[in-house]
Amino acid sequence: MLGKILGRLEESFLCLLLVSMTFLVFAEVVARFGFNAGIHWAQEITLTMSAWFVLFGASYGVKVGSHIGVDVFVKMLPRNVHRAITMLAIVLCLFYCSLFLYGSWIYLSKLHMIGIEMEDLPIPRWMPTSVLFIGFALLIVRFLVLLWGVVTHKTDGFHLADEAKESMHIAEEIRAKNKQEEAN
Residue 136 reports pLDDT greater than 90: yes
| pLDDT class of 69 with cuts at 50, 70, 90 | low
Distance CA 61, CA 73 (A): 22
Contact 16, 90 (CB under 8 A): no
| Host H or E run for residue 91 | helix 79-114
Q: Which of 32-46, 71-85, 159-173 has the highest mean pLDDT?
A: 32-46
Residue 105 has pLDDT above 90, yes or no: yes
For residue 24, the model assigns a pLDDT of: 92
What b/e sequence results for 29-64 when a residue is b if at least 16 CB atoms lie within 10 Å of its CB, and e otherwise?
A: eeeeeeeeeebeebeebbebbebbbebbbbbbbbbe
Give the contacts of 139 (CB within 8 A, at least 6 positions apart).
55, 58, 59, 62, 93, 97
Question: Is-contact 137 59, C-beta < 8 A?
Answer: no
Q: For the chain, what's the residue count?
A: 184
Residue 75 has pLDDT above 80, yes or no: no
32 has a pLDDT exceeding 90: no
Q: Does pLDDT of 161 surpass 60?
A: no
Confidence of residue 34 (pLDDT cuts 50, 70, 90): confident
Q: If you average pLDDT over residues 49-55, what whole number do you get? A: 92
pLDDT at 104: 95
Q: Is 81 left (phi over 0), alpha (psi -120 to 50) or beta?
A: alpha
Confidence grade of residue 181 (pLDDT, cut at 50, 70, 90): confident
| pLDDT computed for residue 101 by the predictor | 96
Residue 36 confidence (pLDDT) = 85
